[in-house]
């Protein structure tokens, strides 16, 4: 139908301009406010960073001169190749491992599945630095299993690939398990009825079914490794990667312009990977059928026990990584005095921030979890449940998705440029706890936002209509219905924010001040200063705290299910 | 809201030239309608006909692109839902799952200046009204679908709204519960006298419950009338086809009161159509009368039974003959009649199309 014809059809009666009620004003106002928070927290800093990459150190516009310099300095641009190579290699290793591990957990009758699942959560509780530190003790110059490398050095690509694979493994595994869990048993029954062999069934049913999940996992692994700073910093030696280059340019050489150039170079593949992944994920949703019959695996001793052997090896590696960090933290003076003591936990006698850094981290993580959950959930609610204002809501959703594409190092450096500028009225928050909380909330905004949106989508779409007809203001329904019903998701979001705030290094490493040193930054600095054992001890402090928080979260969720969610039971 | 019953029975709800566009798609096209106070009106039509869109425009949930909505004499066209006077029940019930039945019903009242004791009294009253006096302390998930829908109804009526809107309220329920509840809702509506609009795609529901039915199709109103009107005197071929079963046979007007169908002449009110006009003759299967062979009456002819389908209390037969060329017509024969006249496939019988039950539509509308 042509636009002119429809316009003519609507021509009689004047166009109605809906009058906005009090609720509409408040909701739109609040959503615009949170939208501005995102503009201020992501878009403007990114813009400032990009324009800095086109300026010289005095702030004069020099066009692409910095880029020309970058690409004519082999020491710099060779990092692109290094970063790509390491990321691709890690992606292949992790994807294959995660797929087999995930397959064992979802599709076999392997014993001790619960244990194997729990072990994989371990790397999530520690900063990515911990893997690097552990590798130093295993394979470093004074490492216990140094000979296994046959003379190769752990400081370099080998170390980076092992360390990266260790900490991204759980992220990939979660996606693979989700992809393998949503299958339709009837497909397998059909394949069996058609007398397809097990191998043929695997290649024609299992793999295609998990295809989008695997692609998505590959992009996640690639992006995480590509943008990670912690592992190459600790174990990379003189092997340059993009993320460590930014750090070296900015902290080492105070060359902010070149830092900005490297950031842009790092940002482009990250954004590309992110965009492709979003496209792929959209397809996967369409594949799911609501009427699928869940697949229940049947015992097959040969397969089950070989899977058990494989998973045992993977689990052993994870435990060895954590175990060595713990052992190193307790050893008095490696490798000469192996007596156990708590000397390395005496952080106050070492550089790096001391115990204050640890308590700062806890404070920062609590603030991030509290403020972040509040802002993110409320923002998602306004976007999802508001009436009208379609353009504004779509723009908000897009703004909320952007942070996922921005690597932490890039975000941190952008904040220096944006908030440290004397022209910025918000300049005062630079060097305070507030900017650390702000950058962390923004850094982890997207995943939390999507969790909230998923939970909100599961609620009846007409709650808001009903409460409007009952003349109840929207915030009353939000507090009395939406929040209680979504409480499990809200707890998940706050947990996610807390764990990430405890373990993150990349964004905050540029933004802490002497009063606001954080535990994860202390790990980095102590390692830098050669105090590797105390660094391990501090990394373990973070691990204990995260494990404790997780436990508390599990107890809370269970308690909640028993009391406030009583209505879920019939 | 105060009613000014001074004018000669003004419509309680008046919808004038309402149009609703979703992008380039026209969901409602210049819809006009009046609903009287205390009336029970059903919007009936196939999915996508615009009935829910119209309901949501009346509620202010999705305000129309153009056109006017007036309630109790006031123009509410642009008002947000919270400033309108209605209660609403959805197919999904939309009960707050974390609140007991009593808290659900009291939800709107708690927002007013009403005293706590009065609220509790009113809630008890409402739960009695919908027949759930002792379910107040349960959570919605502990109730059956039918019970949940009654709670939703009580909640919608709690604020004594001037207008009750029901959006497919029975569609999610089992067939038996549905039949039971529709009688109850109708009864309740008559007792409290609230003006009610119900959206449904189920013609039986509309026929049994409504004072007046608004049949909609593709964004326009096809016909407004009582259930008897709509069923017996469908204004358009769409209405005739959508409600009940209807035979359509092409023909043409020969003279005033005479129509030719495949060579057979029928007596029928041609409503002033000129001779030669192409028409479609419509008659419902249950209106086809069977006669004993010796009896003669208007529009009677010999037919062959070509097919019979047993439907419990009656047979639906397909009859045809030279009488109307190769057109097959469905006719309903009671079990009793089939037995008495020994009707069977391949046999012949005499039927008639009583003129009073024949509808004519201009053109070939099949």
Subunit contact A567:B140, Cβ cutoff 8 A: yes
What is the average pLDDT across B280-290?
Answer: 90
Whether the full predicted model's pTM is greater than 0.90, yes or no, is no
Pairing of strands B163-167, B195-200: parallel
Indicate if the pLDDT at residue A424 is higher than 60.
yes
Indicate if the pLDDT at residue B206 is higher than 50.
yes
The pLDDT score that the predictor gives to residue B3 is 44
SS (H, E, C) A150-164: CCCCCCCHHHHHHHH
- Which pLDDT band, with edges at 50, 70 and 90, does B324 fall under? low
- Which pLDDT band, with edges at 50, 70 and 90, does B299 fall under? confident
Tokens of A335: 């490798």
Nearest chain A CA: its distance from B288 CA (Å) = 42
Q: Which residues of B98-135 are buried (b: 16+ CB within 10 A; e: fewer)?
A: bbbbbbbbbbbbbeeebeeeebeebbeebbebbebeeb
In sequence order, what are the residues at sequence separation of 6 or more whose Cβ sits closer than 8 angstroms to the Cβ of residue A453?
A380, A383, A384
Tens of pLDDT, residue by residue over B177-191, are 999 999 999 999 999
- Which pLDDT band, with edges at 50, 70 and 90, does B202 fall under? very high
**CB contacts, 8 Å: A485 with chain B:** 97-98
The pLDDT score that the predictor gives to residue A333 is 79
The pLDDT score that the predictor gives to residue A569 is 54
SS (H, E, C) A430-474: CCCHHHHHHHHHHHCHHHHHHHHHHHHHCCCCCHHHHHHHCCCCH
Which of the two residues, B37 and A352, has the higher pLDDT score?
B37
Facing residue for B24 by CB, picked from A6, A17, A472: A6
Pairing of strands B66-71, B220-225: unpaired
Tens of pLDDT, residue by residue over A548-570, are 999 999 999 888 877 665 666 54
DSSP structure class, residue B243: S
Tens of pLDDT, residue by residue over B243-253, are 999 999 888 99
Q: Which residues of A262-289 are buried (b: 16+ CB within 10 A; e: fewer)?
A: bbbbbbebbbebbeebeebeeebeeeee
Q: Which chain B residue has the Cα nearest residue A21? A: B80
Indicate if the pLDDT at residue A288 is higher than 80.
no
Percentage of residues in chain B having pLDDT higher than 90: 70
The CATH number of the structural domain formed by A53-285+298-337 is: 1.10.3720.10
Tokens of A285: 């949703």
Work out the mean pLDDT of chain A and round it to a whole number.
89
Among candidate residues B282, B273, B185, the one with its CA nearest the CA of residue B231: B282
Which alpha helices (H) appear in chain B, and where do they start and end? 51-59, 101-106, 116-129, 145-157, 175-192, 203-209, 227-232, 237-242, 335-341
Substitution target in B16, B22, B33, B81 with the highest count of A β-carbons within 10 Å is B81
- Which pLDDT band, with edges at 50, 70 and 90, does B296 fall under? low
Among candidate residues A169, A157, A152, the one with its CA nearest the CA of residue A83: A157
Which of the two residues, A390 and B30, has the higher pLDDT score?
B30
Q: Where are the domains of chain A?
A: 53-285+298-337
Subunit contact A471:B108, Cβ cutoff 8 A: yes
The pLDDT score that the predictor gives to residue A453 is 93
Indicate if the pLDDT at residue B228 is higher than 50.
yes
Q: Which of A381-390, B4-13, B223-232 has the highest mean pLDDT?
A: B223-232
Indicate if the pLDDT at residue A59 is higher than 60.
yes
Structural element, H or E, at residue B217:
strand B212-217
The CA distances from residue B284 to B246, B356, B360, in Å, are: 5, 12, 12
Subunit contact B98:A22, Cβ cutoff 8 A: no
What is the average pLDDT across A540-547?
Answer: 95
- Contact of A460 with chain B, judged by CB distance below 8 Å, is answered with yes
Indicate if the pLDDT at residue B295 is higher than 70.
no
């Amino acid at each position: 139908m042509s636009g002119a014809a429809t316009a003519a059809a609507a021509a009689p009666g004047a166009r109605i301009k809906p009058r906005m009620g009090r609720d509409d004003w408040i909701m739109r106002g609040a959503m615009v406010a949170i939208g501005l928070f995102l503009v201020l927290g992501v878009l403007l800093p990114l813009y400032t960073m990009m324009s800095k990459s086109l300026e010289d150190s005095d702030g004069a516009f020099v066009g692409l001169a910095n880029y020309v310099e970058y690409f004519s300095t082999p020491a710099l641009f060779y990092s692109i190749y290094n970063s790509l190579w390491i990321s691709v290699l890690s992606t292949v290793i992790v994807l294959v491992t995660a797929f087999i591990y995930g397959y064992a957990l979802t599709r076999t009758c392997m014993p001790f599945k619960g244990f194997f699942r729990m072990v994989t959560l371990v790397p999530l509780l520690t900063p990515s630095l911990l893997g690097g530190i552990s590798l130093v003790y295993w394979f470093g110059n004074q490492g216990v299993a140094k000979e296994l490398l046959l003379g190769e050095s752990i400081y370099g690509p080998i170390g980076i690939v092992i360390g990266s694979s260790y900490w991204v493994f759980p992220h990939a595994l979660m996606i693979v398990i989700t992809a393998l869990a949503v299958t339709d048993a009837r497909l397998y029954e059909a394949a069996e009825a058609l007398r397809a062999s097990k191998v043929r069934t695997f290649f024609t049913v299992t793999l295609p079914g998990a295809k989008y999940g695997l692609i998505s996992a590959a992009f996640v692994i690639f992006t995480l490794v590509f943008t990670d700073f912690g592992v190459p910093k600790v174990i990379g030696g003189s092997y340059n990667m993009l993320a460590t280059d930014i750090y070296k340019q900015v902290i080492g050489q105070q060359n902010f312009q070149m830092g900005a150039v490297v950031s842009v170079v790092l940002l482009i593949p990250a954004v590309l990977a992110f965009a492709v992944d979003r496209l792929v994920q959209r397809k996967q949703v369409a594949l799911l059928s609501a009427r699928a019959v869940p697949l229940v695996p049947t015992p097959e001793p040969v397969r089950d026990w070989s899977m058990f052997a494989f998973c045992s090896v993977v689990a052993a590696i994870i435990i060895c990584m954590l175990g060595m960090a713990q052992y190193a933290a307790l050893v008095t003076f490696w490798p000469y005095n192996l007596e156990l003591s708590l000397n390395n936990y005496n952080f106050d006698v070492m550089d790096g921030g001391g115990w204050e850094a640890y308590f700062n981290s806890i404070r920062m993580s609590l603030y991030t979890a509290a403020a972040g959950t509040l802002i993110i959930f409320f923002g998602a609610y306004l976007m999802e449940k508001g009436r009208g204002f379609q353009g504004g809501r779509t723009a908000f959703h897009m703004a909320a998705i952007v942070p996922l594409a921005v690597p932490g190092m890039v975000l941190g450096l952008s904040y220096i440029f944006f908030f440290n500028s004397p022209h910025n009225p918000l300049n005062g928050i630079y060097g305070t706890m507030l900017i650390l909380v702000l950058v962390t909330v923004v850094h982890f905004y997207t995943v939390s936002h999507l969790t909230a949106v998923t939970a909100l989508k599961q609620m009846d779409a007409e709650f808001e209509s009903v409460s409007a007809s009952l003349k109840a203001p929207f915030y009353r329904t939000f507090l009395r219905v939406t929040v209680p019903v979504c409480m499990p998701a809200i707890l998940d979001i706050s947990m996610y924010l807390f764990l990430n705030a405890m373990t993150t290094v990349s964004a905050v490493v540029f933004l802490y001040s002497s009063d606001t040193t954080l535990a994860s930054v202390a790990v980095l600095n102590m390692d830098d200063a050669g105090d590797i054992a105390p660094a391990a001890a501090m990394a373990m402090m973070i691990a204990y705290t995260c494990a404790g928080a997780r436990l508390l979260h599990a107890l809370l969720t269970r308690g909640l299910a028993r009391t406030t969610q009583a209505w879920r039971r019939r | 809201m105060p009613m000014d019953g001074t004018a000669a029975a003004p419509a309680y709800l008046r919808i004038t030239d309402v149009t609703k566009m979703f992008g380039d798609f026209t969901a409602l096209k210049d819809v006009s309608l009046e609903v009287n106070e205390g009336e029970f009106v059903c919007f009936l039509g196939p999915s996508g006909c615009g009935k829910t869109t119209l309901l949501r425009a009346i509620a202010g949930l999705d305000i129309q692109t153009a056109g006017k909505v007036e309630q109790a004499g006031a123009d509410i066209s642009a008002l947000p839902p919270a400033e309108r006077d209605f209660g609403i029940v959805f197919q999904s019930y939309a009960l707050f799952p974390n609140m007991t039945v009593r808290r659900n019903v009291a939800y709107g009242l708690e927002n007013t200046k009403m005293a706590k004791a009065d609220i509790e009294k009113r809630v008890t009253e409402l739960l009695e009204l919908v027949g759930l006096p002792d379910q107040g302390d349960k959570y919605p998930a502990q109730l059956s679908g039918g019970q949940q829908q009654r709670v939703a109804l009580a909640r919608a009526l709690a604020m004594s709204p001037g207008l009750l809107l029901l959006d497919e309220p029975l569609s999610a329920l089992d067939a038996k519960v549905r039949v039971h509840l529709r009688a109850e809702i109708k009864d309740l509506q008559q007792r409290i006298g609230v003006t009610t609009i119900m959206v449904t795609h189920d013609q039986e529901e509309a026929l049994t419950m409504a004072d007046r039915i608004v049949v909609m199709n593709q964004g326009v109103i096809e016909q407004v009338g009582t259930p008897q009107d709509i069923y017996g005197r469908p204004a358009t071929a769409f209405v005739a086809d959508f409600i009940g079963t209807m035979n359509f046979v092409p023909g043409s007007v020969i003279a005033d009161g005479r129509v030719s169908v495949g060579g057979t002449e029928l007596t029928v009110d041609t409503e002033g159509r000129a001779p030669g006009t192409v028409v479609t003759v419509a008659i419902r299967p249950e209106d086809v009368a069977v006669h004993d062979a010796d009896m003669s009456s208007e529009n009677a002819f010999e037919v062959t039974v070509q097919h019979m389908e047993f439907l419990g209390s009656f047979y639906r037969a397909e009859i045809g003959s030279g009488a109307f060329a190769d057109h097959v017509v469905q006719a309903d024969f009671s079990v009793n009649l089939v037995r008495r006249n020994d009707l069977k496939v391949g046999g012949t019988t005499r039927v008639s199309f009583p003129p009073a039950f024949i509808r004519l539509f201009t053109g070939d509308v099949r």
